[in-house]
Amino acid sequence: MSAVQLTLHQFRFDQKTFWRNPASVFFTVLLPVMFLLIFATIFGNDRIEELGDLKTTTYYVPAIVTLAVVSATMQSLAISLTVDRENGLLKRTRGTPLPSGVFIAGRVGNSIVVSVLSLALVSALGRLIYDVAIPWDHLPAVLVTLAVGAASFCCLGFAITAAIPSEDAAAPMTNFALLPLYFLSGVFIPESEIPSGVLDFANLFPVRHFFEAFFAAWDPATTGAGFEWGHLAVVAAWGLLGLVLALRFFRWEPRG
Amino acid sequence: MSAVAIEVAGLRKSYGAREVLHGIGFEVRAGEVFALLGPNGAGKTTTVEILEGYRRRDAGDVRVLGHDPSRAGSEFRARIGIVLQSSAVYHLLTVQEIVDLFAGYYPAPREPGEVIDLVGLAEQREARVRTLSGGQLRRLDVALALVGDPEVLFLDEPTTGFDPAARRQAWETIRDLRSLGKSILLTTHYMEEAQRLADRVAIVVSGRIVAEGTPAQLVAADRDATAIRFRLPAGVEADQLPGGLAMSVGGDGSVTAEASDPVRALHELTGWALERGLDLDGLEVRRPSLEDVYLQLTGDAARTSEEANG
């Protein structure tokens, strides 16, 4: 098989493993949808004056898309890779002729496909239930943001896996890294409610910038094509840092 | 294929300051089953993982199918099959699916269905891996090691934790593999397993090979003589036993004679008993088993290293 065929072969089984695991389907796909419904229910008819009298639901759709993509990439990879490393599956796979690049491509492909599905699902629900317009005009910007963000958060997923000592620590450690950032970056709480000093702090990390890039695409006030190159550059820089750390520290053998 | 599948010479490995292999050397010929037999912590798994390419050696020469495993790539891994010490599989796939997945990794795989039949999992083909028993999981490991049609198989403690019935089944499977012409390197701490399966055995203790040969050679080289045991007949005192034999009488009336020439000794003993019309209750003649040899060698080695460590 060629490398492409082999990647598709691996991807096909990664997909089966993903969709058959109730925890991965719930936490990666359904939880973001649940968050959208909860936030929309709580803040339903509010408008955000500071953001040009924006509908709250219009704010939350790109916010939850951000959450969903980060879950499908960094969080989902960190958990599944740690589990597979600790039960020896990564080591076993290393003992086959499968090139490690193909194995990684299969997993990353899985994360990207789930990201695309989540993005489509959240956007469609936003449109159907809350009448939040799908930003067709900004579709190229949405796709570029998705590509840069998914790739970067995948790299960060491999990097954080290297720091996770055991299967039990995988979910707590990724949550410890991400949950505060969701709050501080305006993903859970509208940014108009967050002190500017806090936003400055959140701006050091990639979640805030990734959200800003998606937000621009959904924001009716955006003029032009909606590409947020500055924000995407910060996300990509974090991705690059993750890649360097992953190449240096990622291990295939169990640590426990 | 060369006549030698695996060559190891002067193999050394340390973890930090602790040296775990102190110059191991052996050869596995093509088509034979070779067992590394030793207690836990003897260095068996470290040796095997160096041969599989997982670990780097500190010193020594290692060749597997002509490759240096520490530098070999996909081409080498396509020719070996690995059963690691603990099972590692995707729990949410079915047996058929995971064998299909692994088959796809190899350039010239065997038919997945055949391999599943060979290891005796035909009935579990559509079962999710997580529903398999420990023994079935281990057989799945063997299937995954075989599906690439390897020339050399590494089986690291393939039956540890098995009940006796499952172990016997696994032995059948390994014998079948041998008849396929595979060279097999097996590690085990079960003497019986080595004795039943291996053409040749190396006994490893504390990172050294203390004995090597066919199971029969190892037993023959043993210093212990054959043991003849029986119960002291009623009315016979210890000092009335034939004098030509070195006998010891236990407090429970059992007699043990160590005989370096068991045929002559038995003749003398049974002649003595027949003359007097005595029965020799519980008469047994026992050649030392590989287990006796193993226990003696591992005991000796442990004492030597204790003395060396002062």
The pairing of beta strand B152-156 with beta strand B183-188:
parallel
Res B269: pLDDT: 87
The verdict on a CB contact (< 8 Å) between A13 and B54 is no
Give the model's confidence band at B1: pLDDT under 50 very low, under 70 low, under 90 confident, else very high. Answer: very low
Number of domains in chain B: 2
The verdict on a CB contact (< 8 Å) between B106 and A96 is yes
CATH code of the domain covering residue B14:
3.40.50.300
Same domain flag for B109 and B237: no
Same domain flag for B170 and B25: yes
Separation in Å, CA of B100 to nearest CA in chain A: 10
Res B292: pLDDT: 76
pLDDT in tens, B25-64: 999 999 999 999 998 889 999 999 999 999 999 999 999 9
Hey, is the C-beta of A100 within 8 angstroms of any chain B C-beta?
no
* Residue ending a domain, choose from B203, B220, B237: B220
pLDDT in tens, B231-244: 888 888 777 787 76
Buried b vs exposed e over A176-213: b needs ≥16 C-beta within 10 Å?
ebbeebbebbbbbbbbeebeeebeeebeebbbbbbbbb
The verdict on a CB contact (< 8 Å) between A96 and B88 is no
Q: In chain B, positions 129-158, which contact chain A (CB-CB < 8 Å)? A: 144, 148
B306 domain-assigned: no
Nearest to B77 among A17, A89, A95 (CB): A95
Q: What is the pTM of this model?
A: 0.85
Neighboring chain A residues of B106 at a CB cutoff of 8 Å: 96-97
Using CA coordinates, name the residue in chain A closest to B69: A95
pLDDT in tens, A48-75: 988 889 999 999 999 999 999 999 999 9
Same domain flag for B141 and B271: no
Domain boundaries, chain A: 3-249
Q: What letter represents residue B190's amino acid?
A: Y
Same domain flag for B117 and B90: yes
pLDDT in tens, B85-131: 888 888 999 999 999 999 999 999 999 999 999 888 999 999 999 99
Most B CBs within 10 A among A1, A8, A10, A13, hence the mutation to make, goes to A13
ipTM of this predicted complex? 0.91
B304 domain-assigned: no
Nearest to A6 among B87, B102, B104 (CB): B104
pLDDT in tens, B262-304: 788 888 888 888 988 888 888 888 877 777 778 777 777 666 6
> Which own/partner pairs from B20-27 qualify as long-range (CB within 8 Å, at least 24 positions apart)?
B20/B46, B20/B207, B21/B46, B21/B47, B21/B57, B21/B207, B22/B206, B22/B207, B22/B208, B23/B60, B23/B208, B24/B60, B24/B204, B24/B207, B24/B208, B24/B209, B25/B60, B25/B209, B26/B202, B26/B209, B26/B212
Which residues of chain A fall short of a pLDDT of 70? Answer: none
Using CA coordinates, name the residue in chain A closest to B106: A97
From B296, B294, B211, B205, select the one nearest B21 (Cα to Cα).
B205
Give the model's confidence band at B222: pLDDT under 50 very low, under 70 low, under 90 confident, else very high. Answer: low
Q: What value does the mean pLDDT take over residues B225-235?
A: 82
Hey, is the C-beta of B90 within 8 angstroms of any chain A C-beta?
yes
pLDDT in tens, B141-199: 999 999 999 999 999 998 877 788 878 888 888 888 888 889 999 999 888 899 889 99
Distance CA B150, CA B158 (A): 17
> Can you give the residue range of the structural domain that contains B247?
226-286
B196 domain-assigned: yes
Res B304: pLDDT: 64
